[in-house]
Amino acid sequence: MEIKEIIQKTNAFLAEEFEVSPESITPEADLKATLELDSLDYIDLVVAIENNFGFKVKPEDFQGIVTFQDFYDYVIERVKQKELV
């Protein structure tokens, strides 16, 4: 999967799942603040990633993620690992 495609897909499900405007999602924006994530929402983020990319995530994986760019990097890395397998 191309990086551009991964980012587009990620933006689409984040906007849909968390009901925020697509314009508010930019690489440098704060993920938690923009999506208004509370502790329960991280569970739904796990579900959304599984449903969209088919790999398993743990909530602790999000600990180092601050911006959307961090999140894209994480998803891209995991998609690549999956494709290598």
Partner 1 sequence: MNRVVITGIGIYSCLGKNLEAVKDSLFQGRSGIVLDPERKAFGYRSGLTGMVDRPELKGLLDRRARLMMPEQAEYAYMSTREALAMAKMDQDYLDSREVGLLFGNDSSAKPVVEATDIIREKKDTMLVGSGSVFQTMNSTVNMNLATIFRIKGVNFSVSAACASGSHAIGLGYMFIRSGMQDAVICGGAQEINLYAMGNFDAIAAFSVRESDPARASRPFDRDRDGLVPSGGAATVILESLESAQRRGATILGEVLGYGFSSNGAHISNPSVEGPTRSLEMALRDANLQPKDIGYINAHATSTPAGDASEAKAIYSVFGECNTPVSSTKGMTGHECWMAGASEIVYSMIMMQNGFMAPNINFENPDDDSAKLNIVTNTLNKNFNIFLSNSFGFGGTNSSLIVRKWE
Task: Note the residues at the interface with partner 1 (CB under 8 A).
Answer: 18-19, 38, 40-41, 43-44, 46-47, 50, 56, 59
- 39 versus 85: smaller Cβ distance to partner 1: 39
Q: Are 67 and 29 spatial neighbours (Cβ–Cβ below 8 Å)?
A: yes
In whole angstroms, the minimum distance from the beta carbon of 40 to partner 1 comes to 4
Nearer to partner 1, 15 or 66 (CB): 15
Q: Which residues does 10 contact at the CB level (< 8 Å), separation at least 6? A: 52, 71, 72, 75
CB of 12 to partner 1, least distance (A): 16
**Are 57 and 82 a contacting pair, CB within 8 Å?**
no
